[in-house]
Amino acid sequence: VTTVTNPGWRMFAAVVVGLILAQVLSKLTEYFTSTEHKPVIEIAESTRTGPATVVLSGTSSGLESSVWSIVAIAIGIGVAIGLGGGNVQFVLYLIALSGMGMLATTGVIVSEDSFGPVADNAAGIAEMSGEFSGEAEKIMVSLDAVGNTTKAVTKGFAIGSAVIAAVALFASYIDIIAVEQFGQAKIDRLLATGQSVYLRVPINVADPKVFIGLLIGGSIAFIFSSLAIRAVGRTAQVVVQEVRNQFADGKIMSGEKRPDYGPVIDICTKASLRELTTPALLAVLAPVIIGFGINKYALGAFLAGVILTGQLMANYFNNAGGAWDNAKKYIEDGNEGGKGSESHKAAIIGDTVGDPFKDTAGPALNPLIKVMNLVSLLILPAIISLEGRDSRFLIAGLSTIVLLGAIAFSKRETGGIEALDAPVSTPVG
């Protein structure tokens, strides 16, 4: 820091950059998920030609939103680099400060995140009351749509801050390697003369081993999302089968008996705990496999791949899911034929596809990035100490067996799902 003029003002500017970045990410998310803007309106218009075009339109919108979000983050990091005055150590500190600037708005973000479930549950209670019509219905649908947007905004903020935090953790990762490689005394001498430690620990993707780490890191977000979405689909199949069984005798529809909610709640609760195992093992064991199985530099490239694809996938899932949901709300507000129309039926399918996107896979990628960075930091000293020893391959091999077994188990078929040869019987008259 001593080699940079006006460090205090530069640090203040970095915090301001973080505040601005938080607002930019929020506005980008709002644009792609709000009923007031073009992307959601275009998705609603695509319902005229059926569910397929709804899915295509939402997918297109979500993919585009990821690009602009990562561009905004890149610009924010670029500004921090400019403020660093060429001192790499100081630049990384400024990037961390910009993350602190983003997190300064956490109170507002938590409030926005709470609004969505409150509005959604209020609309659900009103609909179940049987008095959900007219002006009250219009107000609640509008509030629900706003709640969907605020939830998407907060998820965009969370993944953006996770990327900034991951960059800071990545710097700590390089720091540990530098200490082991050069010793603390030499590092102190380098810092005293304003030289960078980080440039002396290059992660060179031209090295095939390092490039392997980058490739596998880039794939992690995809397998993680696959596991999360498959878990939702498998649980949904069991829930649907339970609902079919309860409606099969027609007594619920005729009012002779009330639905039994207990089994459905039990299915969802048990599934949420059981299906967590494989994604959790992936987050913990993947860095172990790369670090011990290849080397510390490959693990660094692995983390870079996780950060990049994790951010892109998370924004895609969050914004596509939010846009599909709000396209349905836009139609329920009286547009494109209104509630009950063919357009509305197509929008419901889009919303159903989007729910596991925005409520499961998207939000889960945020902690995935953080956990993998933290696990890598924790195991790095062990990786360095075991370099050149065959025992590291044993650790990597056992971890690989456990992880592959967990993934294979997660792909098991759902039992007890019966084909519908005929529609569910309903009483006549």
Output the pLDDT for position 317: 93
Q: What value does the mean pLDDT take over residues 321-330?
A: 90
Q: Is 403 inside a domain boundary? A: yes
Phi, psi of 206 (to 5 degrees): -70, -20
> What pLDDT was estimated at residue 109?
84
Structural domain for 225, as ranges: 7-410
**So what's the pLDDT on residue 425?**
43
Residues 6+ apart with CB under 8 A from 319: 29, 32, 33, 61, 62, 65, 66, 152, 156, 358
Give pLDDT, residue 413: 60
* Surface-to-core class of residue 167, CB atoms within 10 Å of its CB (0-12 exposed, 13-18 middle, 19+ buried): buried
Residue 197 lies in a domain: yes
Q: Say if 429 falls within a structural domain.
A: no
Q: Provide the pLDDT for residue 62.
A: 92
The half-sphere exposure of 30 on its side-chain side, counting CA atoms within 13 A, is: 11
Q: Is residue 250 part of a domain?
A: yes
What φ, ψ does residue 121 adopt, rounded to 5°? -70, -35
Give, in degrees to the nearest 5, the angle at Cα 126 between 268 and 425: 60
Helix axes 38-46, 7-33, angle to 10 degrees: 20
Q: What is the pTM of this model?
A: 0.85
DSSP-derived letter for residue 358 is: I
Q: What is the pLDDT of residues 157-193, one digit of tens each?
A: 888 888 888 888 888 888 888 777 777 777 667 666 6
| Residue-wise pLDDT tens digits, 119-159 | 888 878 877 777 667 777 778 878 877 887 888 888 888 88
List pLDDT tens digits, range 350-368. Answer: 999 998 998 889 888 988 9
- Give the span between the Cα atoms of 191 and 104, in whole angstroms: 30
Neighbour-count burial of 391, counting CB atoms closer than 10 A to its CB (0-12 exposed, 13-18 middle, 19+ buried): exposed
Q: Nearest 10 degrees: CA dihedral of 19, 23, 24, 29?
A: 140
* pLDDT tens string 211-222: 999 999 999 999
Confirm whether 426 is domain-assigned: no
- What's the structural domain count of the chain? 1
User: What is the per-residue pLDDT for 155?
Assistant: 83
Question: Across the chain, what does the average pLDDT equal?
Answer: 85
Assigned domain for 425 exists:
no
**Which two three-digit tokens encode residue 290?**
């790369």
Evaluate whether residue 418 is within a structural domain.
no
Whether residue 417 is contained in a domain is answered as: no
Digit-coded pLDDT (tens) for 9-39: 999 999 999 999 999 998 998 899 888 889 9
